[in-house]
Amino acid sequence: MSGTPAVVLVALRLYNTLTRRLEPLEPIRSGQVSMYTCGPTIWNYAHIGNFRTFLFEDLLRRWLEASGLSVFHIMNLTDVDDRIIREASARGTDIRSFTEPFARAFFEDRDWLRLRPAHVYPRATDFIDPMIALVQGLMDRGFAYQGEDGSVYFAIDRFPAYGRLSQLDRRELKAGASGRISADEYDKENAQDFVLWKAARPEDEAVGAAWDAPFGRGRPGWHLECSAMGLALLEREGLGPVLDIHAGGVDLIFPHHEDEIAQSCAYTGEAHFARMWVHGEFLNVRGSKMSKRFGNITTPRDLREDGVDPGALRLLLFQTHYRQKLDLTDDGLAAAREGCRRLGEFDSRLRRSETTPAGEENDFTPWGRNLEQKVAGALDDDLNAPEAVAAVFQASRDGNRLLDLGIFPAAADRDRWARLLGVLDILPAEAGAAAIVTPGGGSGVAAGALSPSPPADPAEAEAWAVAWAAARAAAKGSKDYKEADRIRALLAGAGWEIRDARDGRAEVRRVFP
Ligand SMILES: [Zn+2]
């Protein structure tokens, strides 16, 4: 984005699972960060536990960008694996038709929870060629072999660093035919040669999950997907063979990420596939009240249908550090709803208050500086969202007191609040809506007639954003989700955010000036 300074001082420290230490983020290329986050397997609706991980990754992404870094964010969609093949087969359909509705549902849930869209969502089945090249490369280099079952396996004893991420005792490792695994998922007690390419079975053929390869017809193993797509996309973007950050849930450390490292590093010869491995803890839905009343409420769409505000849900999830386990409870949700409402009230009070002229200092001046320092300090400290949220609540209490005394903020103080709240994005859904776009009731301007960059004048910029939002609504109406996503990304790049309301309308609001 324009305006990114050439040199960015990054103060962020993250807990790197690879070293079990807090480490400063040192981007490989100054001012740029490449980030790969393991996405959903689109065989079902992603549950709230998956979204807790995506949400901490969203905060990481937003904080990197707010710190002045340009981020290239990849999130894959796994659209071929054991479960997908089984489910597609049971329904007598092919894997594409089976997974498509779940991909769409994932994007809807993502938008509802206000996750900033990744720059690219590669689907495994669109990257079969790079996967075949990766398997062939590993065979050529002696890291992979074909079993008598026709599948190709990674030989873990050929890769001495195997087990480093998950700190497996090397003696537990089982190599060769005695300890070979062809399932996509397996447990830590069974570290063994894992499958890269599964020989095609009739049931794979029946659902369109088999491709030709020099080493035999088959389909990729789950772990292979992320290595091949990550490396292919890094290369396409000219970002080299090593990621700055790779993130996911703790359940992915072993075997998934361990296997990703083995495949990628054995192939590239690099010491790392990612410099930093960042993992988010589990979310549990339990407690007697919760399990009785919310028996089925485990997906964002269930929560949405139950009237939960996405701002409140973000707030609730941010009130626990991403490396701590979190219990989702009825009481927690109710408290977050109330907290979110109070923040919304203060936000609108702050926005509607009189403005102190620029250059005139009053008690709002230290208020803004203090808020900025505390939030930045907290987020730079391994993304300490609970502390950042606490600072925001303190600022709203202090700010209310100042307004009660007839002391008013300057534009700069308001901007600080808006910018920091824009990172956490924990205000209620109804707050701050700049414009509502009704499907079919848009301006009728075709996307082709609109400029991709916003006019400088603020009023014109708003009309511009609304026109694009209308074009997006039209694209969604004609089921052109690719175009709708493109427009969302375009608006996001210009500082505008679209939120889809439940009734089909959309809200456009300015996130940063
Ligand atoms: Zn992955």
Whether 5 maps to a domain, the answer reads no
Q: Is the pLDDT of residue 513 over 60?
A: no
Question: Residue 227 C-alpha to ligand 1 middle, in angstroms?
Answer: 8
**Domain match, 33 and 182 both:** yes
**Domain match, 69 and 135 both:** yes
Whether 236 maps to a domain, the answer reads yes
Question: Residue 256 C-alpha to ligand 1 middle, in angstroms?
Answer: 6
What rounded mean pLDDT belongs to the chain? 89
Question: Residue 353 C-alpha to ligand 1 middle, in angstroms?
Answer: 48
The rounded distance, in Å, linking the Cα atoms of 407 and 379 is 29
**Domain match, 401 and 462 both:** no
pLDDT for 434: 43
- Cα atoms in the 13 Å half-sphere on the side-chain side of 493: 17
**Domain match, 209 and 67 both:** yes
pLDDT for 214: 98
Percent of the chain beyond pLDDT 90?
A: 69
**Domain match, 50 and 132 both:** yes
Question: Residue 278 C-alpha to ligand 1 middle, in angstroms?
Answer: 12
Domain boundary among 253, 280, 307: 280
Question: Residue 131 C-alpha to ligand 1 middle, in angstroms?
Answer: 14
Q: Count how many residues are written for the chain.
A: 513
Residue 177's pLDDT band, with cuts at 50, 70 and 90, is low
Question: Residue 253 C-alpha to ligand 1 middle, in angstroms?
Answer: 10
Question: Residue 301 C-alpha to ligand 1 middle, in angstroms?
Answer: 24
pLDDT for 101: 96
Question: Residue 398 C-alpha to ligand 1 middle, in angstroms?
Answer: 44
**Domain match, 409 and 471 both:** no
Task: List the one residue out of 302, 339, 303, 342 whose CA is nearest residue 319.
Answer: 339
List residues bridging with 152 in a β-sheet: 146, 197
Decide the pairing of beta strands 180-181 and 193-199: parallel
Question: Residue 225 C-alpha to ligand 1 middle, in angstroms?
Answer: 7
Whether 2 maps to a domain, the answer reads no
Q: Give the range of the structural domain holding residue 448, as residue numbers without chain letter.
A: 435-510
**Domain match, 339 and 396 both:** yes
Between 511 and 375, the more confident residue is: 375
Question: Residue 387 C-alpha to ligand 1 middle, in angstroms?
Answer: 30
Domain boundary among 280, 313, 335: 280
Locate 455 and state its tokens: 């006019």
Q: Is the pLDDT of residue 419 over 50?
A: yes
Average pLDDT for residues 204-208, to the nearest whole number? 97
Residue type, 458: P
Whether 3 maps to a domain, the answer reads no
pLDDT for 442: 41
Whether 289 maps to a domain, the answer reads no
Whether 121 maps to a domain, the answer reads yes
Question: Residue 419 C-alpha to ligand 1 middle, in angstroms?
Answer: 32
pLDDT for 295: 58
Question: Residue 142 C-alpha to ligand 1 middle, in angstroms?
Answer: 23
**Domain match, 171 and 136 both:** yes
Question: Residue 262 C-alpha to ligand 1 middle, in angstroms?
Answer: 13
Question: Residue 43 C-alpha to ligand 1 middle, in angstroms?
Answer: 15
Question: Residue 38 C-alpha to ligand 1 middle, in angstroms?
Answer: 4
The rounded distance, in Å, linking the Cα atoms of 178 and 193 is 9
Question: Residue 205 C-alpha to ligand 1 middle, in angstroms?
Answer: 24
**Domain match, 89 and 217 both:** yes
Question: Residue 244 C-alpha to ligand 1 middle, in angstroms?
Answer: 15
Domain boundary among 246, 280, 314: 280
Q: What is the pLDDT of residues 118-166, one digit of tens each?
A: 999 999 999 999 999 999 999 999 999 999 999 999 999 999 999 999 9
Domain count, the chain: 3
Q: Is the pLDDT of residue 186 over 70?
A: no
- Domain of 401: which CATH number? 1.10.730
pLDDT for 312: 97
Task: List the one residue out of 30, 34, 35 whose CA is nearest residue 8.
Answer: 30
The rounded distance, in Å, linking the Cα atoms of 230 and 236 is 10
**Domain match, 384 and 269 both:** no
Question: Residue 344 C-alpha to ligand 1 middle, in angstroms?
Answer: 37
Question: Residue 248 C-alpha to ligand 1 middle, in angstroms?
Answer: 8
Question: Residue 133 C-alpha to ligand 1 middle, in angstroms?
Answer: 18
Whether 407 maps to a domain, the answer reads yes
**Domain match, 100 and 222 both:** yes
Average pLDDT for residues 194-216, to the nearest whole number? 97
pLDDT for 503: 60
Average pLDDT for residues 320-337, to the nearest whole number? 93
**Domain match, 382 and 458 both:** no
Average pLDDT for residues 348-377, to the nearest whole number? 95
Q: What is the pLDDT of residues 69-85, one digit of tens each?
A: 999 999 999 999 999 99
Average pLDDT for residues 231-243, to the nearest whole number? 97
Question: Residue 71 C-alpha to ligand 1 middle, in angstroms?
Answer: 19
List residues bridging with 73 in a β-sheet: 35
Whether 127 maps to a domain, the answer reads yes
